[in-house]
Amino acid sequence: MARSGVEHIDTIILSNGLRVAARQVRSVAECCGVAILAGSRNETPDEHGLAHFVEHTIFKGTRRRRSHHVINRMETVGGELNAYTTKEETFVYTIAPAGNLLRSVELLADLVTDCTFPDAELDKEREVVAEEIDSYLDSPVDAVYDDFEDIIFKGNPLGHNILGTKESIARFDSRACRAWIDRYYRAPNMVFFYTGPASTVRVFAAAERYFSRLKANYFRENVVQPEVIPLFRDNRPMDFHQAHTLMGARVGGLYDADRHALALFNNILGGPGMNSRLNVALRERRGLVYSVDSSLTLYGDCGLLSIYFGCDDSDVEKCRRLVEAEIEILATRPLSQRALMAARRQYVGQVTVAGGSIEQSALSLGRSALRSLGYPSPAVLTGILDSISSDDIARIAASLPQLSSLTFS
């Protein structure tokens, strides 16, 4: 057993290769789950949407439980069972009142080792996912992100929508779902994580007891890095009340040396604070947009900086120029020490508030363990950010490629 010197996080690797990360905290609730290093990026062309479909249907029955037994197992004690899929990861987890560790671990192990995917349940869930696909198509904000990623990651599995299409999900049967589980839900490709009041010794013992049935061998495959494509400016006429624009560029990935500086730069530029550069320039000063923000998505081998704004069709070009101007200012006029300190403090504060939720704290722990990112506490993050200078922020801004853009108008 290894203890992190950062935040009293204990880790262990079980006999079958399953990694376990546990954080003991004082809390009336506890959250635990499994993180799997597999998402839509791992799908073949005829599997688009399968990772997400499996995440939905894993709850539909096991050899020991019917679907209503699965959904009621945590609900009856006031807890929840949940899951989500990204392009590179899948999470299945519970949150419950403290004292339900064994109930949670046993259920999670049952789902990832003995799910059966009954045909009748798959047919019902197909309709649910189809409705989810329709809801995204009806949302221009979601659609512009999906279409932009299709272009910037053209020819690579990172580009396609996580949900798939109605045509692709119609092909999935229990055999396809089971094959996905067999391929990726293996101990060395997974992490079990826990945050709550139970001792880490109890957590490790529960994980060893219930997850011992996981396959111990690792399925290896080659993940191809997307090619860098030429700059594009695409406008697609749509019947919307306002124009929706996404600008973006490829950046470094999860393990890039500049990832923390890039995250701070992104927060300054268009993070969730109303004092972000883009919100002040486009909304507060000029009233051109209702919303504008930038986001940073980091994958294992690359990343994407995305900037979204919605405005009148006649103001798209003006807003695009203002976005580029704000990046140019950050590149050519280094922040004062006072402004840099305020930006660091704001970012750490946002991370601290987000981590105050037992659920978000546990999910962050799971992802950090899955991707071997370490476990920085707010104090450690402050130290990391203190090493980032104004010149670093300017260098990040100056090194950004020209921003491609996609507009629905």
Residues with Cβ < 8 Å from 100, sequence gap 6 or more?
A: 30, 74, 77, 79, 94
Residue whose structure tokens are 């419950």: 96
Q: What is the share, in percent, of the chain residues with pLDDT greater than 90?
A: 88
**AA identity, residue 253:** G
Mean pLDDT of 217-239: 89
Q: Is the pLDDT score of 3 beyond 50?
A: no
Question: Are 343 and 335 spatial neighbours (Cβ–Cβ below 8 Å)?
Answer: yes
Same-domain status, 199 and 241 = no
Q: Which domain holds residue 316?
A: 233-408
On whether residue 228 sits in a domain, the answer given is: no
Q: What is the pLDDT of residue 8?
A: 79
On whether residue 115 sits in a domain, the answer given is: yes
Same-domain status, 189 and 315 = no
Q: What is the pLDDT of residue 1?
A: 55
- Beta-strand pair 29-36/190-196: antiparallel
Q: Is the pLDDT score of 239 beyond 90?
A: no
Q: What is the pLDDT of residue 121?
A: 94
Q: Is the pLDDT score of 77 beyond 60?
A: yes
On whether residue 244 sits in a domain, the answer given is: yes
End-to-end alpha-carbon separation of the chain, Å? Answer: 56
Number of structural domains the chain divides into = 2
Same-domain status, 271 and 396 = yes
**AA identity, residue 323:** V
On whether residue 58 sits in a domain, the answer given is: yes
The structure tokens listed for 340 are: 């840099």
Question: Are 346 and 309 spatial neighbours (Cβ–Cβ below 8 Å)?
Answer: no
Range with lowest mean pLDDT among 38-42, 79-83, 218-222: 218-222
Measure the CA–CA gap between 135 and 112, rounded to whole angstroms. 28
On whether residue 346 sits in a domain, the answer given is: yes
Mean pLDDT of 364-390: 91
Q: What is the pLDDT of residue 298?
A: 97
Question: Are 184 and 215 spatial neighbours (Cβ–Cβ below 8 Å)?
Answer: no
On whether residue 222 sits in a domain, the answer given is: no
Q: Is the pLDDT score of 352 beyond 50?
A: yes
pLDDT in tens, 252-286: 999 999 999 999 999 999 999 999 999 999 999 99
Residues found in the chain: 409
Measure the CA–CA gap between 59 and 65, rounded to whole angstroms. 10
The answer to whether the Cα torsion of 392, 393, 394, 399 is positive or negative is: positive
Residues with Cβ < 8 Å from 265, sequence gap 6 or more?
A: 330, 393, 396, 397
Same-domain status, 297 and 375 = yes
On whether residue 33 sits in a domain, the answer given is: yes
Measure the CA–CA gap between 112 and 25, rounded to whole angstroms. 26
Residue whose structure tokens are 């203890």: 3
pLDDT in tens, 176-190: 999 999 999 999 999
Q: What is the pLDDT of residue 220?
A: 73
Q: Is the pLDDT score of 5 beyond 60?
A: no
Same-domain status, 239 and 362 = yes
Same-domain status, 156 and 285 = no
Per-position b or e across 190-206, b if 16+ CB within 10 A of its CB: bbbbbbbebebeebbeb
Residues with Cβ < 8 Å from 27, sequence gap 6 or more?
A: 98, 195, 196, 197, 358
Q: Which of 89, 87, 84 shows the shortest CA–CA distance to 41?
A: 87
pLDDT in tens, 125-176: 999 999 999 887 778 889 999 999 999 999 999 999 999 999 999 999 999 9
Measure the CA–CA gap between 89 and 373, rounded to whole angstroms. 14
What are phi and psi for residue 221, nearest 5 degrees?
A: -145, 160
Same-domain status, 13 and 154 = yes
Q: What is the pLDDT of residue 365?
A: 96
Of 175, 210, 245, which residue is a domain's last?
210
Mean residue pLDDT across the chain: 94
Same-domain status, 108 and 247 = no
Same-domain status, 373 and 326 = yes
Q: Which of 65, 72, 55 shows the shortest CA–CA distance to 125?
A: 55
The packing angle between helices 119-137 and 50-57, to 10°, is 120
Please work out, in degrees rounded to the nearest 5, the angle formed at the alpha carbon of residue 114 by the alpha carbons of 109 and 115: 105
CATH label of the domain that carries residue 43: 3.30.830.10
The structure tokens listed for 118 are: 């009954």
Q: Is the pLDDT score of 6 beyond 80?
A: no
The structure tokens listed for 207 are: 């994980």
Q: What is the share, in percent, of the chain residues with pLDDT greater than 70?
A: 98
The structure tokens listed for 351 are: 């991370």
Same-domain status, 358 and 302 = yes
Q: What is the pLDDT of residue 238?
A: 85
Question: Are 371 and 193 spatial neighbours (Cβ–Cβ below 8 Å)?
Answer: no
Other residues' Cβ atoms within 10 Å of the Cβ of residue 131 = 9
Give the DSSP per-residue string, 203-251: HHHHHHHHSTTS--SPPP-PPPPPPPPPP-EEEE----SSEEEEEEEEE
pLDDT in tens, 36-69: 999 999 999 999 999 999 999 999 999 999 999 9
Q: Which of 170, 180, 167 shows the shortest CA–CA distance to 123?
A: 170
pTM: 0.94
Same-domain status, 170 and 259 = no
On whether residue 223 sits in a domain, the answer given is: no
Same-domain status, 45 and 102 = yes
DSSP symbol at 257: T
Question: Are 62 and 115 spatial neighbours (Cβ–Cβ below 8 Å)?
Answer: yes
Mean pLDDT of 290-297: 96
